[in-house]
Amino acid sequence: MRLIRLPSIAAAFALMWSPGGFAASDEEWLERMQVQENLLEELQSTRGPTDLSLVEPLQAMIVLLRERSEYGRVAELQEHQLELMRINYGPESVELIPLLKEMVLNGVEAGDREGVSDFLQQMRVLNSVQGDPVAHLEAIELQAYWYKTGGAGQTHKQRVVSFFDAHELVDELEILLDDVFDAGDPSIVPWLYRVYMNRYLLLGLLNSDREVRAIAREELVWREGSDALWAIGRSTGGTNASSTAGRWGGGRFIPEAQETVEKITEVMETAGDLEAQAMATIYEADFHLLMNWASAWRKYDEARELLREAGVPEERISLFFSRPQQIPYSRFHPTLEEAIARQEADLSRWRPAGEDAAHVAEFTAWSESVPNVRFPDSDHVFWNEASSYYEAELDININSVGFVPHVDVLEFEPENNEVRYRLRRAAEDLRFRPIMEDNRRRRMHDVHIRVLIPRDGTEMVEVE
């Protein structure tokens, strides 16, 4: 490896200010940067250009550059660190993973979508050879989440293509699950639920507005061949069965989603955990309700009986079913108390101005392109997105089978007719588990909900 002489960063910053124009903090920053540059050059000369000791002054320079939000410079120095660590630890060393995470965070802050995608791919490859299968699953899930969110791009075409990249990764993850977990091991359930939610996103994509739906069908055929058109079936548009004459377009993906959620119930039954089996049955019933299948109500009855057999107090069961709930849930809760706690946390996150107004949890859409599907969730993401949203407060009715037949826009910013239509469409396509009391399903009128739709071109920031 040749001796690397980096251009003086301190000198470059000094040119940004006129002579005599430095604040004390600027002068101090330049002095600190110069110290690290001198140390780096000295170590290169005395220990050689590949010595691992060079990582330390490079890291000190990175810290200083982050103070100035100089993400491009940070990326250059991180690449230098990565090269040094590959030479000293080996190209497949686990020691590279923390640095790659730092490179992901810098790329997120810089808005470098391609760079972040590349670093996550490198993390996935490294984790695949480390002998830790769960870490490998987490790396796959992280990369898939990125493609569905921050790395999705801004156009309809980019978002669809990125989703199918994620979809292929989740298919890979599903194949690995049976090798990682023993039969009947409840640890597999959160992973199965991620597979299920990915299929929910796919169904939402195939039932979105006409333009996005056409792009999704074209992309699926390109990836899987012309037989995929038959597999999709007749797509009618809209995820709400009230707007699709009771049908979802989705072909084979509907039974695949059903099989996944039923497998969760089977795992919990094998484990002998009655309460977890009951919760899995509720999730299974929610899927039947999304499909507008009458069998949903029988499944809910089965779940209540299992909860009673598990010794769950009747008042807690009644409380859970006394609240209208958007479905599907973003994650699996193995106990009723966890699900109730999530209900209460979601309800407390936003309240309408009127103290007596009934309300449900706010809904954040996946994107402008697919406003009728909930934004994806992940347990393993280590970055966050500070998104800019179109926001509305709506008044809705929820009928006795969980559809939204009526929507009034109460507050909306900005005033834009196209976005107003998307917000209304998102609310009309929501599906709820209705209130169920004394074996009767209740409709609700004048329920307030806040709907958020991410604008394209979000600003990405690191999680604190």
Q: How many domains in the chain?
A: 1
Mean pLDDT over 325-334 rounds to: 93
Within-domain flag for 83: no
Domain that holds residue 361: 341-462
DSSP at 242: G
Residue 441, helix vs strand vs coil:
strand
- Does residue 227 sit within a domain? no
| Omega cis (within 30) before 414 | yes
Whether residue 308 is contained in a domain is answered as no
Confidence at residue 150, expressed as pLDDT on a 0 to 100 scale: 74
The chain-wide mean pLDDT, for the chain, equals 85
**Is residue 377 in some structural domain?**
yes
Q: Inform me whether the pLDDT recorded for 401 exceeds 50.
A: yes
Q: How confident is the model at residue 231 (pLDDT cuts 50, 70, 90)?
A: low
Which one is predicted more confidently, 204 or 304? 304
Structure confidence by residue, pLDDT tens digits, 22-37: 444 788 999 999 999 9
Q: What is the residue-wise DSSP string for 244-281? A: TTT----TTHHHHHHHHHHHHHHHHHHHT-HHHHHHHH
- d(CA 427, CA 408) in angstroms, rounded, equals 10
The structure's pTM equals: 0.86
Residue 17 forms part of a structural domain: no
List the single range of 105-119, 241-255, 333-347, 396-410 with lowest mean pLDDT: 241-255
Backbone φ, ψ for residue 412 (5° rounding): -155, 130
Determine the Cα–Cα distance for residues 104 and 115; give it in Å rounded to an integer.
Answer: 8
**Mean pLDDT to the nearest integer, 339-363:** 86
In a domain, 386, yes or no: yes
Tens-place pLDDT, residues 374-395: 888 888 788 766 567 888 889 9
In a domain, 133, yes or no: no
pLDDT confidence band for 274 (50 / 70 / 90) = very high
Q: Which 3 state secondary structure label does DSSP give 338? A: helix
Q: Strands 363-364 and 435-437: what pairing? A: unpaired
| Residue 260 covered by a domain | no
The pLDDT value given to residue 10: 53
